[in-house]
Amino acid sequence: MKKKVLSLMLTTAMIATMAAGCGGGSDAGSSDAGSADAGSADAGAADAGSSDAGSADAGAEGGHTLTAWAWDAGFNIPALQAAADDYKANVDPEFELNIVEQSQSEDIENAITLAGSSGDYSTLPDIFLFQDHWIQRYVADYPDAFIDVADADVNWDDFSQEKLSYSTINGTHYGFPVDNGTVIFAYRVDLLEQCNYTIDDLTGISWDEFIAIGKDVYDKTGKYLLSMDGDGNDLVYMMLQAEGGSQFKDGKPYIVENETLVEIVNKIVEMAQNNVLYLANEWSDYTDQTIVGDMVAGVMNGNWIIPTIEQVAENSGKWEITSMPTLEGGGKEGYASNGGSSLYISSNCQNAQLAKDFLAYTFGGSTVTYDGALTNGGVITTCISAGESDVYQQGVEYFNNTPIYAKIVEMGANVPVVEQSDYHYTCRQYIAAAIINIINGADTMTELQAAEDQLNFEMGN
């Protein structure tokens, strides 16, 4: 019963969260779900338009109150509330966190841009959430908006180093990790069984072996073993990271001469041409038609895709998760991450020590915070020790009563650190278009060269 209760709590909390969990906005191909009542008093949120949203005295020196901005009423905000409750109960009984809900991540990005452009940071809150793939550009463009948190009382070695690679800039820590974007490969084990396969047969295999199994599964069940949004195609990035590679090298696009990337593109094209991979027309087609619409026997993406999978109630107990295939196979498991966000302290914070102490105690490793964030909002930690709690070890009914959350934390600790770029999404756009053209008969290297040329132009190279 305990397992069933946890599964129900997680499903209820996470069901409204799709790609918003990855921390991305519309550019990331995600949906920023935010309900109108998320700013209610019992959620600890202030009115987004109130005068104290970014006031200098919200975290006055010696006080006990901080203001935080975040988006997503069903995901990030419950995680912040869990942290506030934890700190108030176990550290400072006078502590209050005013959580101001933003409709999407771009609201915070725009606020920082406006403040930085005017040179007036007094409009910013004490703490704000920021998506990982954009943070390095904003720290570079508006360094005066952020404060260094390297001296916070945190064991940074207890986190996924890939996650920390976003918020650690030129050796300095700026952010506190929140959610885990580790990639899962979820499979319908009932459909695999019909084809005489188990989850173990899909673990530690090569992409060539995956393709062979995928063809067999489609022939016998009519289901694709993988799907992806064709416009926002994240497959190249995820498959490449699992190989320890990047689409960038020394700050420049690394596409045409990147033999591993070219091989991965060829595998994607082969999968698409052999009914192993379905490339959807857009994000809603990917989620609503291929996953919720029951066209697939497998789903590979950041673990924030879990609530989308769980929308099909009749498939409860029929799914399990594992790692990614790799080009090499032979027992080698692939690990990658896709999406996520972290919390930052603004230069406008009047009680930076309180903000550091609060974030270090809670998101720095408190199992109380992370257990609450998981059960109330579906936020999975990247803190390795927090993933060892009893809550994380419990089986999840929808996934055949396996402890998927502990497994996700374990996999996240193995994600390779690769070179990132502020042009991540731009690169994705051009390579996705190239892949569609190649599937339709265009020359592979011609299309990849065009993608690299377009990206170099965007980057001013």
> Structure pTM?
0.85
pLDDT > 90: percent of the chain:
84
The angle, 0 to 180 degrees and rounded to 10, between the axes of the packed helices 259-273 and 235-242 is: 130
* Contact of 324 with 415, CB cutoff 8 Å: no
- Nearest CA to 241 among 359, 385, 116, 338? 338
pLDDT tens, residue by residue, 255-269: 999 999 999 999 999
pLDDT tens, residue by residue, 267-309: 999 999 999 999 999 999 999 999 999 999 999 999 999 999 9
Q: State whether residue 177 is helix, strand or coil.
A: strand
pLDDT tens, residue by residue, 5-47: 344 344 444 433 333 333 333 333 333 333 323 333 333 333 3
Q: What is the pLDDT of residue 42?
A: 34
Tokens found for residue 405: 């959350």
* Contact of 423 with 197, CB cutoff 8 Å: no
- Nearest CA to 147 among 139, 135, 159, 137? 139
Q: What is the pLDDT of residue 32?
A: 34
Long-range contacts of 388-393 (CB under 8 A, 24+ apart): 391/6, 391/367
User: For residues 445 and 249, what is the distance between their CA atoms, to the nearest angstrom?
Assistant: 19
CA dihedral 315, 320, 323, 325 (to 10 degrees): -60
All domains of the chain, ordered by start, with CATH? 2-181+340-412 (3.40.190.10), 183-336+423-459 (3.40.190.10)
pLDDT tens, residue by residue, 322-341: 999 999 999 999 999 998 99
* Contact of 147 with 154, CB cutoff 8 Å: no
Q: What is the mean pLDDT of the chain?
A: 88
Q: What is the pLDDT of residue 339?
A: 87
How many angstroms from the chain centroid is the CA of residue 25?
A: 12
Q: What is the pLDDT of residue 62?
A: 57
Whether the per-residue pLDDT at 188 is higher than 50: the answer is: yes
Residue range 101-123: mean pLDDT, rounded = 96
pLDDT tens, residue by residue, 380-401: 999 999 999 999 999 999 999 9
